């Protein structure tokens, strides 16, 4: 086992963290190993890591026995540090210097694919929505183990009736079984962020819980949650001219607000031929 010595590596290469890229690093090897542990067996297939930065989590993934790791990093300043890691683990690590938002999970042919990342906060919801909306059900992805701001993590796993229920919770529920597995205080990061963080582990379902037209469901969720304090009879009026009839047809009470509904009700609504 080699010491990670990440802070020393950052000093050697004179790299200062960039706030604009969400660069809050974890140096604590125990926490890094714990995060990787939630992904289960990674000895077959490929692990995709978003934002390896100076490579602490990357090293923990490799030490846990990952057969193949592809790490996608936007900031080229980390290339020399990541190249050192490549030498330490020959033929097991590839680094792509590019924006993770330009990746398409469908194009990754390795199977099974597991994603592990301490996501930069700026892109965390955008990247999750992109994967859930377009890609996950057509990819080889079996699980995601991802760090978010605690508040975002709570929105992702919120069930019906919760004030935190959101579009993100419903899309997550359609495609995955997700739970918060670890909370991490600001003091565990360098530099210290202002907020708490949480790791969410998602097991991707073999097929979505309901079969439907994703763009139709998305449209309904967008209208319902963009005005979440409104009753559904008002917020969904732009989609359904006879909104009462549509809501009643699937057993929704028109005065309900979006957070109180189960996923199935939204899916039934999207399947209506109106
Ligand atoms: N994995 C390291 C760790 O756990 O200590 C660093 C995590 S840090 C929170 C987020 C990383 O994502 C940074 O290295 C940052 O440069 C990178 N990043 C930011 N935006 C990105 C993007 N659009 N695509 C790929 N990487 C990005």
The pLDDT tens digits of the residues spanning 58-107 come to 999 999 999 999 999 999 999 999 999 999 999 999 999 999 999 999 99
Of 51, 62, 124, the one to substitute when testing ligand 1's pocket (max ligand atoms within 8 A of C-beta) is: 51
Q: Band of the pLDDT at 135, cuts 50, 70, 90?
A: confident
pLDDT of residue 134: 76
The dihedrals phi and psi of 68, each to the nearest 5 degrees, come to -145, 125
Give the predicted TM-score (pTM) of the model.
0.95
**What pLDDT score was predicted for residue 1?**
39
Our mutation pick for probing the ligand 1 site, out of 49, 74, 149, counting the most ligand atoms within 8 A of Cβ, is 74
Q: Ligand 1 center to residue 22 CA distance, Å?
A: 6
Residue 96 buriedness (CB in 10 A; 0-12 / 13-18 / 19+): middle
Ligand 1, CB within 6 Å, residue ranges: 21-26, 50-53, 56-57, 72-75, 99-101, 118, 120, 123
- C-alpha atoms less than 13 angstroms from C-alpha of 245 in its C-beta half-sphere: 7
Give me Rg for the CA atoms of the chain: 21
Whether domain 214-270 has CATH 1.10.8.100: the reply is: yes
Question: 138-141, long-range: CB within 8 Å, 24+ apart, which pairs?
Answer: 138/105, 138/106, 139/105, 139/106, 139/108, 139/113, 140/45, 140/108, 140/109, 140/110, 140/111, 140/112, 140/113, 141/105, 141/112, 141/113, 141/114, 141/115, 141/204
As a CATH number, domain 6-204 is 3.40.50.150
- In the chain, % of residues over pLDDT 70: 99
* pLDDT of the residue at 186: 97
Q: Where in the chain is the domain with CATH 1.10.8.100?
A: 214-270
- Kindly indicate the confidence band of residue 46, based on its pLDDT and cuts at 50, 70 and 90: very high
DSSP 119-176: --HHHHHHHHHHIIIIIGGGS-EEEEEEEEEHHHHHHHH--TT-TT--HHHHHHHHHE
- Which ligand 1 atom sits nearest the alpha carbon of residue 122? 20
Report the pLDDT averaged over residues 35-64.
98
78 CA distance to ligand 1 middle (Å): 10
120 burial level (CB within 10 Å; 0-12, 13-18, 19+): buried
Please state whether the peptide bond connecting residue 112 to the residue before it is cis, i.e. omega within 30 degrees of 0: yes
User: Which residues of the chain does CATH 3.40.50.150 include?
Assistant: 6-204
User: What is the DSSP secondary structure assignment for residue 20, as one 8-state letter?
Assistant: G
Measured from the Cα of 75, ligand 1's closest atom is 16
Judged against a pLDDT cut of 70, whether residue 3 lies above it is answered with no
| Residue owning the nearest CA to atom 17 of ligand 1 | 51
């Amino acid at each position: 086992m080699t010491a990670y010595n990440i802070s020393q590596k950052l000093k050697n290469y004179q790299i200062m963290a960039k706030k604009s890229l969400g660069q809050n690093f974890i140096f604590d090897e125990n926490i890094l190993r714990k995060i990787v542990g939630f992904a289960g067996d990674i000895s077959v297939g490929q692990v995709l890591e978003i934002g390896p930065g100076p490579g602490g989590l990357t090293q923990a993934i490799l030490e846990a026995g990952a057969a193949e790791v592809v790490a996608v990093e936007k900031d080229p300043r980390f290339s020399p540090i990541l190249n050192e890691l490549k030498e330490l683990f020959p033929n097991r690590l590839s680094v792509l210097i590019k924006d993770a938002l330009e990746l398409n999970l469908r194009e990754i042919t390795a199977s099974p694919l597991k994603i592990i990342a301490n996501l930069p906060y700026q892109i965390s919801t955008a990247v999750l929505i992109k994967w859930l909306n377009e890609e996950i059900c057509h990819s080889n992805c079996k699980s995601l183990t991802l760090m978010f701001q605690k508040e975002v993590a709570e929105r992702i796993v919120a069930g019906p009736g919760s004030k935190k229920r959101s579009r993100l919770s419903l899309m997550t529920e359609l495609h995955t079984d997700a739970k918060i597995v670890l909370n991490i205080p600001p003091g565990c990061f360098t530099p210290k962020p202002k907020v708490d963080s949480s790791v969410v582990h998602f097991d991707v379902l073999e097929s979505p819980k309901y079969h439907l037209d994703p763009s139709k469901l998305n449209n309904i969720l967008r209208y319902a949650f963009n005005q979440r304090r409104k009753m559904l009879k008002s917020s969904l009026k732009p989609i359904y001219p006879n909104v009462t009839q549509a809501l009643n047809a699937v057993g929704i009470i028109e005065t309900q607000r979006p957070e109180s509904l189960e996923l199935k009700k939204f899916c039934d609504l999207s399947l209506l031929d109106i």
